[in-house]
Amino acid sequence: MVIYEFLINAISLGCLYALMALGLVIIYGILKMVNFAYGELIMFAGYMLYLVGSFTNLPWILVALAAVLGAVIVSYLTEIVAFRQVRTKSLTALLITSFAVSTLLQNAALLTISPRAKAVILPPIFSTTVSVFGLNIAMRHILTIGVSIAMFIGLTLLFRYTVLGIALRAAADNFRMTRMLGVPADLVISSAFILSGMIAGVCALFWIGRTASVTPTIGLGPLLIAFIATVIGGMSSLLGAAVGGFAYGLIFTMIGVLLPQVLLDYREAFMFLIVMLILIFRPEGLVRAKHTQERVG
């Protein structure tokens, strides 16, 4: 019985990681940029949960919607204010910009809210358990799995059947060609940031749902997880992100079991060692893209 409960916990974490990775991949695919500010989107959504949840009497679902919307708006704003301006410059400039945006948002939270953790009000559904076939399963896990799968299906449909989705995929394959065929670059990139913000917002609900509090630096954890997951899975497709998310969960757990007690503290170091090894020996990750090329401005 315990093994099944453990399995469901693992699947729910894997889904969450996969979703996090997906938000990072959508932007990476097009701009070839790791968005360091991605974690701060999760932080922002967390603070929206705290602010809207604590100071209004709205039902929680509306609070959650406001949080997701907040992350979307911030993601979009970072795109038009910062990333759009440096997009055509070097990749180094883009990466440093995203690092600067991340620092800016993090310290803005420090400045305007508080360096201390703020408690987030969660609906009872996050702390109840249900009994399914004699198993005690936390509702939280079921919600995480359900919402993640729904998001994955929705995004797959979007990418496969809508004009926007096709444009996004085309831009990820060959951005210059896509532009030449008449797809407006700004529109595609803005949409990618909006989608990324939406995914970050949804991730925030479940990530913060685990601890029920939010701090200015809460984004670093999810960012690093998404970062590792995308490198493992492959940075060019939806499937890669999903595989990477689950692979991350699996490898992280395995390292925990396999490492001797003395080295257990260095788990994170080992994860990043794996990242480096993958970049060296299999830079395209587990899921190879059909078409890859160097970045163009």
Partner 1 sequence: MNAARFLNRLSSYSTLIILAVPLLVVTALTDLLANYLVLRILTAFFVSLIVVLGMQLFMGNSGILAWAHVGFMGIGAYVSALCSMTPTMKKIAIPQVYPFLLQLHMPFWAAILMGALLAAVIAALVSYPLMRLSDAAGAISSFALLIIINSVLVHWDRVTNGPRTLFGIDERTTIWIAAACAILVMILAYIFKESSLGLRLRASRADAYAASAVGINIPLVRYFSFIISAAIAGFGGGLYAHYITSFTPNAFYLVETFNVLAMLVVGGTLGISGAVVGAAVVTIAREGVRALENSLNLNHVFPFDVIGLTEVFLATILIISLILRPEGIMGGREFRWHPKKAGKEAGPETPAAEQEQ
Smallest gap from residue 287 Cβ to partner 1 (A) = 16
**Stretch 18-47: interaction string toward partner 1, x if CB under 8 A:** ----------x---xxx-------------
Binding of partner 1 at residue 241 (CB under 8 A)? no
User: How far from 281 is each of 50, 229, 285, 292, CA to CA, in Å?
Assistant: 43, 16, 9, 16
Cα separation, 113 vs 33, in Å, equals 29
Binding-site member from 10, 110, 185, 286 for partner 1 (CB under 8 A)? 110
Is 53 in contact with 116 (CB distance < 8 Å)? no
Provide, rounded to whole angstroms, the least separation between the CB of residue 104 and partner 1. 4
Q: Which is nearer to partner 1, 104 or 139 (CB)?
A: 104
Three-class DSSP category at 131:
strand
Q: Which two tokens stand for residue 55?
A: 């100071």
Residue 128 parent element (H or E): none
User: What is the full DSSP assignment across 10-43?
Assistant: HHHHHHHHHHHHHHHHHHHHHH----TTHHHHHH
Closest CB to partner 1 among 33 and 204? 33
Instruction: Specify the stretch interacting with partner 1 by CB under 8 A; choose among 4-12, 137-145, 181-189, 265-273.
Output: 265-273
* Shortest Å distance, C-beta 85 to partner 1: 4
CB of 220 to partner 1, least distance (A): 8
Displacement of CA 98 from its chain's centroid (Å): 15
Q: Does 90 bind partner 1 (CB under 8 A)?
A: yes
Could you give the maximum distance between any two Cα atoms of the chain, in Å? 58
Q: Where does this chain bind partner 1 (CB under 8 A)?
A: 28, 32-34, 81-82, 85-86, 89-93, 95-97, 99-101, 103-104, 106-111, 114-115, 216, 220, 224, 227, 231, 235, 265-266, 268-269, 272-273, 275-276, 279-280, 283, 294-295
